[in-house]
Structure formats: C-alpha cells, structure tokens
Amino acid sequence: MEKQYKILDKQIVYDGFFQMEKYRLQHTLFNGGWSQPISRELFERGHAVAVLLYDPHEDAVVMVEQFRIGALQHADHPWFIEIVAGMVEEGESEKEVALRESVEEAGCEVKRMEFIARYWVSPGGTSETMALYCGEVDATRAGGVHGLEHEDEDILVHVVAYEQLLEMWQQGQLNSATPLLAVQWLMMNRSRLREEWSRPL
C-alpha cells in the first residue's frame, strides 16, 4: 500500500522565539488501512547548517564551546564543545550560512568546503533538519571568544589536534549528535582531505 497521511486539523499553540504546532492526523498502516486519528505536537525550529572546521596542514579542528539550555540537567554542566552551527535565515543558502557562522562563531574564513550529510535532528517531535559540511580553515589564526552580542552568544574557540579530538570522542567529551557525526566522518575521510586540500586552490 502506498504510504499516505492526511491532516485533520492544525493549530499553532505557541508562537515565540520558536513555534509549536499541534496536529490531528491519520496515516496508512503497514498491515493496511488507516490509523485512528492521532494528536502530535511539532516543534517548528527552522533548519540549520553545521561546519566541521578542519586544518589539513596542522591536522587540527576548530571547535566551539557554549552554554546550551537543553542540557540544564547534564550531570556536570550545560556547556558543550561542538562545531560551528547556525540557523538558515530567509533568502540564505546553506553555504552562505556555513561561511557566515564560521566567521561569527569562530573568526575563521573557510577556503574549501565539502558536503557531508543532511539529516532530521529529531523527527519524532521537530521538523528541524541539519546540513553538515566540512570546511578548510587556517587553525593557526583561530582562538578567543566570539559570537553576536545581540544574540546573547558567548562562544569560546578551541583548536584541537586530531589525536586529541579522538581522545575527546572516546572519553565521551563530545556528547551532542552533530559533532559526533562530523568526527566520525573525518575519521573516514581525513587522509583524502589532507591529500586533496594540500594542493593549492
């Protein structure tokens, strides 16, 4: 049977910094027929882009550390070491977001960039997708505190050697999905990147 769904009702139940929508819907069942009407809330956050900033000459990545409200119940603290990321604003392409956020959050100019993957962040409750890239940077010029004051950003930049990055990954110091995916991709593609990105532009 062809997979189908039908929306019976939709309401906006919260409209603030983000938006929450409530749906009544039905969908087809694997064994045939239609489900009973079900009610689901959908967190409408928008769509995001993240960039793993990698220096093939230094064999190091540029990471960022910042406070995360979603991790208030973290056993240690809600400051996460992550990769550069930001929301797609109206009229922007994914690559434009990647370049903008790399400067805003890490003070890095991206030279070359490679697409990694696009995925739904948590499709059980939000429509947000993440487009993941790897960007070539000069890590010797990275450091300091960055972020936009009017967005209340306070972002500390870390330059992490590849071997140290692997230790952080193995010790559970990277504990959000996007940097974990990015580091695993780098593990599989590092040799190729170091060869390809060693050639002049």
Residues involved in catalysis: 151
The Cα-based distances of 118 to 1, 48, 88, 129, 165 in angstroms read 28, 10, 14, 7, 23
E-strand ranges in the chain read 5-15, 19-27, 38-44, 48-55, 60-67, 79-82, 84-87, 113-120, 129-136, 145-146, 155-161
User: What letter would DSSP give residue 77?
Assistant: -
Q: Give 173's contacts (C-beta < 8 A, 6+ positions apart).
A: 81
* Residue 89, both tokens: 């604003």
Give Dmax over CA atoms of the chain in angstroms.
Answer: 60
Exposure of 96 in the CB half-sphere (CA atoms within 13 A): 6
Transcribe 130-148 into DSSP letters: EEEEEEE--GGG--SEE--
